[in-house]
Chains A and B, each alone.
Chain A
């Protein structure tokens, strides 16, 4: 697979593929991106972070449980339960930061900007 990474917004799936407070994993080129739809205050927001859990070296973050800790939206890795801030990629338990990506819903489609 040798798909070129577009330096622009890329459509990855339909908005209906996302369920509230659950994640999916999208493949863009060789990257795996975990996208989450979080329901807050009557509306929903999208977050996108790398799918790779640096502690287990497994591509699993899209399958973690989401929630909030001390006001930060987080996902818990299903392997060793580290929490990652969905907005910044920071790990709450360790001095580690994973990549975050821009994500938006546009005309019923979910789009990523990988820059």
Chain B
């Protein structure tokens, strides 16, 4: 394989024509894929496995000598001697002789039923012997041994694996992983015998053979397959007097050059820095290095290779990364065993707990890519590295990395399989706008869920390339939302007109106007329907209700903490009945009333306000609900009064305008019935106080909140939330959720803790004061509106008529109204 790679690379090199190439091959066919050798048993032919494109040797003028073997090298005369005595001259010689299966020197090992697993001919012999066998044994429980065991199993044999070491895959996997792997493989019907030292092979009683072990036990079998490791094919070099390693292998330098500068060695026969690389990828690297050396490109060097592997062995995912055994000085490890679902994961970290050194994954290797990238790129570990392997920590999600920490191989768009690397390449080739990037890579063009992430990758890459990242909110303002917030606050700006005149241009648009309205609201808390702000609002904010698909609105009164009196329920029901509204319980523990027309909104709200309700702000980018479970008041498990705390929080932060909608929840114990960990702010009662979780969300990209602080008293809890919310409102981008915002803060969760808990920026008091101002100046927008005759004027569909919009048509379904479909509208019109 490596030899063929060398030939292919050389043929592709610009100096291919300068070489006259001869290649020896002792097998009857040119190179084939040994990695997928077992596929030969499942019906693949030798041709299917071939690595040589048709006509390769002919079109590249390569002299292929099949069934021919080089037996000696006359280095003085620079000639290769073949098996039949021929001698061929060379200028440069490349040894890519590979390896052979090691068969331990056990008496009886040469019996005809003792086989190895290396070539297509070996496989044919296995097939033939298996045909007259009932039982098969594989000697060697390593990677290849398990592969071979699968082959025997597939051939219908009762299969055993005999391993000298105390566990399977001893090189890649540690004790815990080996134990789990063993149980999984045994579940598939393969018997595993570890710690067995085979002494001799004799005639069997009921079978052809019998293996006798050092511990006195025996195993009867018809076939023995040796897969006890490989040894370099270095005999040619040995005969020619080329330098070798003590235990074999042809010594090479960084250019894959042997002690004879005109002779190179690559692949499994080569010994670099005292190591043999038994994987194909490093062999391919060596092939390229040798081609470069021979064609004079000496900047290319082989500097070792990562031996991390991930493979599926008999259907079991097994991965080994870096220092899997923790042999680095001071290394520490975290491990996780799930015997129920058959998962074993271990990570080995550096002495200071900062970097990943290695990992073992058995049963589930999904995060192999992430872990490998972290190890290879020395990415600093998250604060709790065990999160990398735990399925879930109490409240915390798998740690998110800022986009610049994502490896190039990270899949950003799962619909179209676009990686970060592909996006970066596209940006490097001159694509600098999101739309163009999506068109060029197809990322974000299917479900669109990754668009924000694509934008972040693009911006990070542009910044890396030194190209100025346009954070402009829109064509009217050359500023980000965060910058505009500061401009508004520092300059005391109170209107959009003033802002656009001093810091922007044009008349504004549906991006910058609502953004400005939100900033003005969170800075000054003015009544959002003041005449000068009215034109800035999205229709939802303008009519203080949520527009639905047919142009009607829905209305949600606030129900703090989800606690409501029977009279409250009756009042809402009465209003819904009177105005014939569709009612539905929301996920946030309140009641949504649908199908209200513009002119009905003030009438509906007049009645709701009279019944003691206030706006639920379901229409705003603002705090929605604080969900709660029933808590210690009623629940026998409750630790604290979660409903009471939810009401305090909801009343404190109601109406707060923010870059994105916000949700909170309070659970009374760790059973977490309020699902607080899926909220921007989640609070869970413990025996010792409140645990605070931040930056979770449901929706398109669900994310668990991170545990931020534990065992807080009421005052500290509110202090932290005040600081957190205000810091978010001041610094987040337009429509940026708290989770994305935090992931994009340099330093992430740790930084946020510093700012909020340790007050590292010295702004804690200021944030609290600003929040207190908002709390003190809160007003129910609906109350202000229904009290203002002038404002009420806008609540009609026609400026010149009291008619309703005739295009709004309802039909009944399950006892309630719903918008008519176009077809239904057509039929109704005809009927009328």
Interface residues of A (CB under 8 A from B): 1, 12-13, 17, 19-22, 24-27, 30, 32, 35, 38-40, 52, 56-60, 63-71, 73-74, 76, 78-79, 81, 83
Contacts and interface: CB of A to CB of B under 8 A. Distances in A.
A3 to B, nearest CB: 10
Given A67-B508, A67-B513, A83-B510, 12 more contacts: A1-B803, A12-B800, A24-B799, A30-B806, A56-B550, A56-B551, A65-B513, A65-B514, A68-B507, A70-B475, A79-B551, A81-B510
Contacts of B110: none
Contact of B535 (A19, A25, A70): A19
Nearest to A70: B475
Contacts of A30: 806
Interface of B: 475-476, 506-510, 512-514, 531, 534-540, 542-543, 547, 549-551, 797-801, 803, 805-807, 822
A49 B510 CA distance: 18
Nearest to A57: B822
The 4 closest A-B pairs by CB, nearest first: A58-B551, A76-B510, A67-B509, A21-B535
B38 to A, nearest CB: 54
A59 B536 CA distance: 20
A65 B550 contact: no
Nearest to A24: B799
A34 to B, nearest CB: 10
Nearest to A76: B510
Nearest to B507: A68
Contact of B551 (A59, A68, A76): A59
A20 B513 CA distance: 14
A2 to B, nearest CB: 13
Contacts of B506: 67-68, 71
Given A13-B800, A60-B551, A69 B539 contact: no
13 contacts: A19-B535, A27-B800, A35-B799, A56-B551, A57-B807, A57-B822, A59-B807, A63-B547, A65-B513, A65-B538, A70-B475, A76-B509, A78-B547
Contacts of A25: 797-799
A63 B509 contact: no
Nearest to A22: B535
A26 B799 contact: yes
Main secondary structure of the interface of A (DSSP, over half): strand
Given A26-B798, A60-B547, A73 B803 contact: no
A68 B508 CA distance: 6
Given A12-B799, A57-B822, A59-B551, A67 B507 contact: yes
Contact of A63 (B543, B801, B822): B543
A20 B535 contact: yes
A55 B83 CA distance: 80
Contacts of B509: 65, 67-69, 74, 76
Contact of A66 (B507, B539, B803): B507
Contacts of B547: 60, 63, 78-79
Contacts of B801: 27
Nearest to A74: B509
Given A79-B549, A81-B510, A58 B807 contact: yes
Nearest to A65: B510
A74 B508 CA distance: 10
B720 to A, nearest CB: 36
B551 A27 contact: no
A48 to B, nearest CB: 12
A83 B514 CA distance: 16
A83 B507 CA distance: 14
A26 B799 CA distance: 5
A60 B540 CA distance: 12
Contacts of A74: 509
B823 to A, nearest CB: 12
A27 B801 CA distance: 7
A61 to B, nearest CB: 10
A1 B550 CA distance: 22
Contact of A27 (B507, B508, B798): B798
A25 B799 CA distance: 6
Contact of A78 (B476, B513, B539): B539
B539 A60 contact: yes
B510 A67 contact: yes
A17 B799 CA distance: 7
Contacts of A69: 475, 509
A79 B540 CA distance: 10
A65 B536 contact: yes
Contacts of A40: 507
A64 to B, nearest CB: 7
A37 B47 CA distance: 77
A27 B804 CA distance: 10
Contacts of A39: 507
A26 B551 contact: no
Contacts of A63: 539, 542-543, 547
Contacts of B537: 65
Contacts of A78: 538-540, 547
B805 A32 contact: yes
Given A22-B535, A64-B510, A58 B800 contact: no
Given A56-B549, A57-B822, A79-B547, A66 B799 contact: no
Contacts of A17: 799
B724 to A, nearest CB: 30
A90 B805 CA distance: 24
A85 B542 CA distance: 22
With a 10 A CB-CB cut-off, give which of B514, B535, B543 has the most chain A CB atoms.
B535
Given A57-B822, A67-B510, A74-B509, A19 B550 contact: no
B538 A38 contact: no
Nearest to A60: B551
A30 B829 CA distance: 14
Nearest to B512: A67
Contacts of B549: 56, 58, 79
A32 B803 CA distance: 11
Nearest to B797: A25
A38 B510 contact: no
Nearest to A53: B551
A59 B510 contact: no
